[in-house]
A and B are shown apart, each in its own frame.
Chain A
């Protein structure tokens, strides 16, 4: 059975990628499952979608934890534990990353047994939330790597899944997808179906034992308030708002009120401070700041600058 995971951010088209690949497999005579991980797939949030394809009925359910291929649309997610990109990878896995960097760099950085391939990033966009055509490119590259899907089958699946879009958008997606397909043909067949794991191969889940209380006097109560602060929604951010304090006039009630997430705090000295652990990067503050004292920079650039400063 082929087991393929697509990782990206909400809005980058990973669900579409899984649908295109799923339909292509189906039209090539396979039994197929394709699904996005259901949850809070909000724009910018790390998400994944997955495809299973087999010549006989598929009885496996749930998310794929032993992938044959992991396809990553946005390389800023690779090192992010919450995105779970490297989860379950082993020597059999192929890791395909859309990146400006080389396979050797990633291979070394991740110190992984998995074979790393690069889908050369063509886009040069500031805001990673808007990687154009990446869903179609990932689906096409994955199709080529399996070597069981013909060019025409891919085009038919893409046209079917993008059918609601204007004709010129479909054509553009098709052309870009075919380029990725042809590029990956040199590695055709590198991704092979993994074996069927038996139940005994699975690790025991890490259960937390909860003692039974008398049902009449107990329930699963959370006695702490505002526990949501433990969730780092700052990981969703593709653009970062940065306060230029010399320009800031200290009217913190404005940005602090308008921030939908309440992620701008007012410091003791009256100036605002952005909580980057939780700021989702909507940039409402940038648009609303009266003296235009909040700028936005791409998150990956901000992180590179931070890494340099601390080195």
Chain B
């Protein structure tokens, strides 16, 4: 799609004051994934068609209710990018045959959770990037299989309790680096975002609106239900993820990675961890100093390697 618009998100005040996404959706109160989606939708606009793999967000469109102004397609968990290919091809054929006028064209947007993106949808996504599919991919990463009761996924962070990691030390594995995996495909654009930093998010969406090819977004999505915290802390926890360096905000294009919001002085990671029930065992009944130190050292090592901050 060829649109070129000047970047106009400079201050919080520039954020959209009307919202496109309909209210009345079935996501949990305080859902960080929905918060990302509504912000992105406001900026992308209604000329969009969403292709949604199984996950919490599939409940958004349950006939006859939909929060979207346009089309929505449901696919199996592993194949949303393949669904997007079909939709894009169909649109392109209609455009070519002049059965669709250019102003009726729409942007194809994949929405999936982390379970789909980091796990079983990886192959379909890789294929879509190989074929340089013209689409946007939004992964809302709530670090587990939220819709089915927060089982662990390849995006679950080390030590988090999930319904399938109930042991005293939580999930023994480590979160997969999806940003690096996607960037290694050299698509048009890859970025990490978070709804708690709306300006950073808005600037990135504004940027990809004027681009074509695969534009890949991973949004950390604080999830009160799966992470076990009071819903009113959703934005606070998201902001702490950035300030502690747990969730680096960055973008990739043309072979280069740039950090877009570097925390000046990183806060200790325990400020982030201790607000969430899934990490409570690191603090109660006794403080697991070694466990916390390990998590901290991995964050420090990341920023050391990144040579920023």
Contact = CB atoms under 8 A, between A and B. Distances in A.
B29 A43 contact: yes
Interface in B191-209: 195-196, 198
A175 interface: no
Given A253-B15, A284-B235, A287-B232, A229 B23 contact: yes
Contact of B35 (A232, A260, A283): A260
Interface residues of B, number: 48
A126 interface: no
Contact of A236 (B29, B46, B166, B196): B29
B112 interface: no
7 contacts: A222-B66, A225-B69, A226-B67, A229-B22, A233-B23, A258-B235, A283-B30
A251 B27 CA distance: 26
Contact of A284 (B16, B24, B30, B39): B30
A228 B198 CA distance: 24
A282 B63 contact: no
Contacts of A287: 232-233, 235-236
Q: Which 3 A-B pairs have CB atoms at the shortest separation, nearest pair first?
A: A226-B22, A40-B26, A282-B30
A182 interface: no
A231 B65 contact: yes
Interface in B34-70: 34-35, 38-39, 46, 59-60, 63-70
Interface in B1-42: 12-32, 34-35, 38-39
Contacts, number: 138
A266 B17 contact: yes
A278 B23 contact: yes
A284 B229 CA distance: 12
B26 A232 contact: no
A42 interface: yes
B24 A228 contact: yes
Contacts of A164: 166
B18 to A, nearest CB: 7
A8 B16 CA distance: 37
Contacts of A232: 24
B277 interface: no
B234 interface: yes
A260 B38 contact: yes
Contacts of A172: none
B39 to A, nearest CB: 7
Given A260-B31, A281-B29, A225 B22 contact: yes
Contacts of A288: 235-236
Interface of A: 39-40, 42-45, 164, 220, 222, 225-233, 236-237, 251-254, 256-263, 265-266, 275, 277-278, 280-284, 286-288
B232 A282 contact: yes
A227 B236 contact: no
Contacts of B20: 226
A42 B69 contact: no
B241 to A, nearest CB: 15
A284 B234 contact: yes
B225 interface: yes
Given A228-B25, A261-B38, 18 more contacts: A40-B26, A42-B29, A42-B225, A225-B70, A228-B67, A229-B22, A231-B25, A252-B17, A256-B17, A258-B196, A259-B35, A260-B30, A260-B31, A262-B19, A263-B23, A282-B29, A282-B30, A288-B236
Nearest to A11: B225
Contacts of A259: 35
A253 B14 CA distance: 8
B235 A225 contact: no
Contact of B24 (A44, A225, A258, A278): A278
B170 interface: no
B69 A226 contact: yes
Instruction: Output the residue of B14, B19, B65, B166 with the most chain A CB within 10 A.
Output: B19
